[in-house]
Structure 1
Amino acid sequence: MSKFDYPRLPRREIIGVLAESQIASVSDADLLNPSPDFTSNLYTQILIHIGCLQEDYGLVEFADLEQLENPDLHVDSVRMMNLFKKIKEVISALDCPKKFTLKDLIKPEADRTELFLSAVLNFCLHKDTRMNLLRPAVEDLTLLDEQRQELEARILQLNTDISEFNESREREMPLIQEVDTKIKELRQSISALNNHQMSLKSTFRKKKDAAKEMDEKISSAEFALVQSAQENASLRSKIVQSPDKLQRALEEKKAVQVEAKDAERVAMQSFHKKTAILEVYTKELSSLLEAGTVHVKGMASKKMTKHLKQMQTLQEQMNSGKQVEKDVKVLKVKNSDDGVLDKSLEVKLHEQQGRGGSSSLSLS
């Protein structure tokens, strides 16, 4: 505790300080002739003012009074002893040069009372001065304390919210784990879809290259179709335009062939007949030659000449029949070749028409 000087305050100043501090209202007479009740009440008000004594200090525990004989007689004495103890502690703490005794309460003296009042009031003045200086800091401290309390309440509320959030998080942890699992599955699905997308892009590039190659093939097919059309036109120009005329010519040649065969057969019959006659005449001529007659020789010579002419005629007819037969065979071969050529041309025409249809379908 700080030490103070103890200038004896004048009675007027003591009265003024007590009045200004609203401790008590006293007069010069009260200070000149202090009574026990006056000093007890004044000290009580001063101690209450400086915060060293509670207003209910006079209340005594009944359990303590029951330990005494005639407790009703000791109530005031117990109250006075409590007051004395508090005043003595305060005076001792203020390092007053004189010690406060019980006599100062029971039989107070004006001089000692003014000294003790001066000491306590000096402390009150010093306290008020310091409190006025410290009041802004105290107010700030009070404000800070209120803010601290508010912050503590806020912290308590936040801790409560955090606890609730932790409990909620623990309750929702299975859902979070399930969501994490779904997220992992979705990421795997996204990765698979990305790979599938890359595969589709690669397939698209291949299809694009195949389409380009197909366009080239279509161009080649169109060019081949044009060439086939030209070849078809050329083949069509080689096809017989009038099959009826060809058929009539074949029939005429067949008729000629039949006639030639008939003529050949007649000629062969005549040839065989003439040959038989020639053999007869030859035999006769031989017999006549053997006979040696000139007349017979002349006659045989004429007959031989005539017979030879007939044989030459028959030979010419036979040669003519053979030539006709050869012509018929040539016509048959030509007719067969024309039929084969006609069929091959028809087959090629159908093939070219089929190619043209497939190419047009591909182009469409």
Structure 2
Amino acid sequence: MSGYSFPVLENREILECMSELGCAMTEEQLVKPSPDHITRVMEQLLDIFMGFSADDNAQMRFSGIDVFDHPELHEFSVGQLAFNRSIMKLMQASGVHDFSHKDLSKPEYPRIRKIFSAVINFAKFREEKVSTFEQFVEATENLQNEKSVVDNKFEELTVQLHQLRAQRKQEEPIIQGLQQENEKMEEQIKSLNVEQSNLKAKIHEMKQHRQELSDKRDHDQFALLTLKTEVSKL
């Protein structure tokens, strides 16, 4: 943090930015700061950045105060100690490492200008980080939503797969019966193919035999005709 730096802003920009933060003030209050006003502004800044309000400060004054012998002497110091610790944390985070109680009890314009410039710069840095974080959160939520959609689809497909497996298991006997019947039909087809092949061979053989008989008949008829012709010549 020792190398942390920030620009010292002009009065106009300080007043505008502090107003945007909810800590409105006049230029006179900035240029001529008073302890009471600066303390109130610091309380507002603590409430904005650290959630430490004036009510919390007052509550801490009374919480556990009874442990002291003279509580009335410590009522203010307990709350003031908590306030000082919180404001130191804010100043350290803003880069003001030389902040002291004097900046509250005897505030001076150059110091207050520097402190407010640092806090404003820290606020802008914090806003950027918050915006980046919110974008990251949004992206994470989108991914989570997409994951939920994928998970739901996966569960849906898993249910469908189980249903298909159950259906297949129920239909398995039918499928096996059809497969067995198909195998029988294939055997019958093979047997018929063999029988058909044998019949084709027999038909071919019969055709050849018929052709031989036809040829023999034609030969015998021709021989008979020749014989008749020769007999008629005698």
Of 107, 111, 115, which residue of structure 2 is paired with 1:110? Answer: 107
Q: After the TM superposition, which residues 4-153 of structure 1 pair with which residues of structure 2 at under 5 Å, given as runs? A: 4=4, 13-21=10-18, 22-23=20-21, 24-31=23-30, 32-36=32-36, 38-47=37-46, 52-54=49-51, 58=55, 82-94=82-94, 96=96, 98-101=98-101, 105=104, 108-111=105-108, 114-125=110-121, 128=124, 138=132, 143=135, 145-153=137-145
Q: After the TM superposition, which residues 1-364 of structure 1 pair with which residues of structure 2 at under 5 Å, given as runs? A: 1=1, 3-4=3-4, 13-21=10-18, 22-23=20-21, 24-31=23-30, 32-36=32-36, 38-47=37-46, 52-54=49-51, 58=55, 82-94=82-94, 96=96, 98-101=98-101, 105=104, 108-111=105-108, 114-125=110-121, 128=124, 138=132, 143=135, 145-180=137-172, 182-183=174-175, 185-220=177-212
**Is the alpha carbon distance of 1:179 and 1:154 closer, same or farther for their aligned partners in structure 2, counting shifts above 3 Å?**
farther
Higher relative contact order (CA 8 A, sep 6+): 2
What CA distance in whole angstroms lies between the structure 2 residues aligned with 1:2 and 1:181?
81
Task: Name the amino acid aligned to 1:210.
Answer: K
What CA distance in whole angstroms lies between the structure 1 residues aligned with 2:34 and 2:134?
41
Provide the secondary structure at the position in 2 that maps to 1:98: coil
Residue-by-residue CA offset, 1:261-289 (whole Å, 9 max, x unaligned): xxxxxxxxxxxxxxxxxxxxxxxxxxxxx
What CA distance in whole angstroms lies between the structure 2 residues aligned with 1:61 and 1:185?
88
Residue-by-residue CA offset, 1:268-318 (whole Å, 9 max, x unaligned): xxxxxxxxxxxxxxxxxxxxxxxxxxxxxxxxxxxxxxxxxxxxxxxxxxx
Conservation of the 8 A alpha-carbon contact between 1:33 and 1:110 = yes
Conservation of the 8 A alpha-carbon contact between 1:91 and 1:120 = no
What CA distance in whole angstroms lies between the structure 2 residues aligned with 1:61 and 1:163?
56
What CA distance in whole angstroms lies between the structure 2 residues aligned with 1:60 and 1:110?
21
Deviation at 1:39, TM superposition (A): 1.5
Conservation of the 8 A alpha-carbon contact between 1:44 and 1:53 = no
What CA distance in whole angstroms lies between the structure 2 residues aligned with 1:63 and 1:122?
28
Conservation of the 8 A alpha-carbon contact between 1:43 and 1:87 = yes
Deviation at 1:156, TM superposition (A): 2.1
Task: Name the amino acid aligned to 1:110.
Answer: P
Conservation of the 8 A alpha-carbon contact between 2:61 and 2:75 = no
For the aligned residues, what is the CA RMSD?
4.8
What CA distance in whole angstroms lies between the structure 2 residues aligned with 1:174 and 1:228?
80
TM-score by length of 1: 0.44
**Is the alpha carbon distance of 1:64 and 1:155 closer, same or farther for their aligned partners in structure 2, counting shifts above 3 Å?**
farther
Residue-by-residue CA offset, 1:224-271 (whole Å, 9 max, x unaligned): 7779999xxxxxxxxxxxxxxxxxxxxxxxxxxxxxxxxxxxxxxxxx
Task: Name the amino acid aligned to 1:58.
Answer: D
Provide the secondary structure at the position in 2 that maps to 1:90: helix
What CA distance in whole angstroms lies between the structure 2 residues aligned with 1:206 and 1:39?
119
Residue-by-residue CA offset, 1:82-127 (whole Å, 9 max, x unaligned): 54332111224456453433x655xx3132x752551352353366
Deviation at 1:34, TM superposition (A): 1.0
What CA distance in whole angstroms lies between the structure 2 residues aligned with 1:127 and 1:59?
22
Provide the secondary structure at the position in 1 that maps to 2:147: helix
In the alignment, structure 1 segments of 5+ residues that lack a partner are 231-364
Task: Name the amino acid aligned to 2:138.
Answer: E
Name the stretch that deviates more: 184-193 or 23-32: 184-193
Provide the secondary structure at the position in 2 that maps to 1:110: coil
What CA distance in whole angstroms lies between the structure 2 residues aligned with 1:57 and 1:193?
96
What CA distance in whole angstroms lies between the structure 1 residues aligned with 2:57 and 2:107?
30
What CA distance in whole angstroms lies between the structure 2 residues aligned with 1:123 and 1:214?
118
Deviation at 1:80, TM superposition (A): 5.8
Task: Name the amino acid aligned to 2:148.
Answer: L
Deviation at 1:17, TM superposition (A): 1.7
Conservation of the 8 A alpha-carbon contact between 1:48 and 1:54 = yes
TM-score by length of 2: 0.62
Task: Name the amino acid aligned to 1:118.
Answer: K
Partner residue in 2 for 1:282: none
What CA distance in whole angstroms lies between the structure 1 residues aligned with 2:42 and 2:183?
91
